[in-house]
Amino acid sequence: MIYNNLKEIADGFDLFLFDAYGVFWEGNKFYAGSLETMQTLVASGKTVAVISNSTQMADDLIGGYGKRGMVQGRDYNYLMSSGDVLRQHLMQADISFVKCRNPHNYYVIGKPHRKAFAGTPYTEVAAMEEADFIYCGVPFLYDEDVAAYPQYKDMYWPVKNLESGGCKVWDTENAAPFVVRVEKAVELGLPVLNANPDFTAKEGHPLVPEAEAAFVVRNGTVAEMFRKRGAEVLEYGKPHTNIYDYAFKILEQNGIAVNKTRTCMIGDTVRTDIKGAINAGIIPILCVETGVTAEEISKGKTVKSLCFEQNIDVQQIMQIKSVGGL
């Protein structure tokens, strides 16, 4: 059975964990009715927590959503990110790989994440040969990358302009520009650290306001390129239980009892949100008409086939059209 919206099944739960992209956030705007639904849950005494596969710190995400009109305390109670989990492990010097138990130097593919690494015993290096491991940053491209792969010019989106007027940072719908660096790192035998397992994200691009939001490559895609080539990959975030353990600990520290039979995870991606909820022992709720699953269905997939790919029985999950009802 597919329910129209989350309100139809809300009485069965006390704690609601929300993914962000593809659930209440479309990449450039909120889905119709999503914030209203979340407000209703909070006002009725339910606990609403956003659990995001984002390398950003929670405070930065809270500020960013606040500027867009999503208010903590009214629309949700808590927000945790995979970036928070990464930061905790970095601060504890708790990064360890099978062939490198005590790494120190890291090389970044994509966008650096200096805020997460600040004050930790890990040092960014400029040459891959000097690194103990690779950090998968947000897979932005720079002008030199775009120039080197002109065949994908229709798949690049400008993210940030230089003051001089030239574009410095680009999103991409194609991961091919990262292949050379990935293969070099694999040849060097470097393990990989990733704090966003998402393959894609639907992003709007303010520098091209007339364009619709597009699905662009995210950290998980680059990590998967490494994994398929035999590299060791250490990840934080859904579908791994580390982010749920982190979230449950924070909730319990704030007096929120976590009864897993009354806790649900609302997500748009079977591979991360739904698989993660099952791994964490809570109830998975899949949005089938928004985000990644809607995109997959438009390409001929079914919810059943998506679940089969992740070794999930489709009967294990609940389905809604969207959080607010489209």
70-80 per-position pLDDT tens digit: 999 999 999 99
Q: How confident is the model at residue 37 (pLDDT cuts 50, 70, 90)?
A: very high
Give the residue extent of every domain in the chain.
2-53+239-320, 95-235
Q: How confident is the model at residue 206 (pLDDT cuts 50, 70, 90)?
A: confident
Concatenated DSSP letters for 133-188? EEEE----EEHHHHHH-GGGGGGEEEEEE-TTS-EEEEEES--GGGHHHHHHHHHT
3-state class of 200 per DSSP? strand
| CATH superfamily of the 95-235 domain | HAD superfamily/HAD-like (3.40.50.1000)
pLDDT digits over 101-135, tens only?
999 999 999 999 999 999 999 999 999 999 999 99
Top-level class of domain 2-53+239-320: alpha beta
**Reported pTM:** 0.95
* Beta-ladder partners of 279: none
163 has pLDDT over 70: no
Q: Do domains 2-53+239-320 and 95-235 have the same CATH topology?
A: yes
What is the average pLDDT score of the chain?
A: 96
For 83, which DSSP code?
H
179 has pLDDT over 80: yes
